[in-house]
Structure 1
Amino acid sequence: MCGIWALFGVSTESISYTDSTFAKIRHRGPDAWKIQYDNKVKCACLGFVRLTIIDNVYGMQPMTLHDYPHLTLLCNGELYNYRRLEEQYKLKYETRCDVECIIHLLATRGVEFCVQHLDGVFVFVLVDSKAQRVYVGRDPFGVRPLFRLSSDVGIVGFSSEAKGLMDLSSKMNGGRWKV
């Protein structure tokens, strides 16, 4: 099992709190972990913990591809039809990681097409720094968990486990919070 964690709209003073909350989901990925800060989209903090199943070297996330440097993906899941999508839509993968197809499909066909054509169990957060948008998607059955935390001052967080977000409301000045 892997884990994803993302936080948007945090002030630079609050970034120090992110490491301790992200650490609460590290047990989900024994092979590797990475946290990345990005000011291109509303002070984004993106974290991933990895259990390696497919493509041990290049499947690390947050994933950004050379052809689409403005798109950054976090995904916890398994896509069963990624090879068929590659052949059918002539996608040119940089990795052997199944979730890479999400970036290609969203970039070339749009978000609705992308989520309608994915077959598997997944949740994802995809950041588009060019369009200044964040896309969140999941499989139709909700097999993989994803929790959301939001404040009335514009802070939004996502995590594979609720405990990855819970302490944020007490540590950050975000006004009223909703989980």
Structure 2
Amino acid sequence: MRQPLIFSCAAAILCSLGFVLTGCAAMPGATPQDKLYGNHAAAPAALDQKVASDAIRQLVSLYPPASTQFNLVQPAPDAFGTALVAGLRERGFALMEAQAGSGSTMAADANGASTGAGGLELRYLLDRPGAGDLYRLTLAIGTQRLSRPYMIQNGTPYAAGAWVRKE
């Protein structure tokens, strides 16, 4: 008689744990992965503009603008994100943006497209890996990562190294 009681207690604990984890997974809003991306650098505006234009040049060199669609998976309300979105569109890329309320809902681009199907997922992370004036941009395009360091000397932003590509 003692074994069924142990099994029923274990089953009750597992069911409770399952309900708790299901509740956490069903919470609305950004996924934990989406919180890893964005502008976490609190960088000066000059750096945001320099890094955005540099990132656009790199994307143009790797992807043909007139035939590439990027699906920006995260909202881009910061200065870097705004400059990146405007620059990509100006260079001829089709771009779907995530709406601010949800990381998965795409807004229509300038051509009126209403789905994110057919494009490459695009995310960015602009952060400050340590103390000092060193910043790092990481672009995630599908499963590929592009990364480059930047620094500020005498108030002017400079690239502090070459682009690194991880596939």
Q: TM-score, normalised by structure 1?
A: 0.31
Greater Rg, structure 1 or structure 2?
2
Higher relative contact order (CA 8 A, sep 6+): 1
Structure with more strand by fraction? 1
Tell me which protein shows more helix as a share of its residues.
Answer: 2
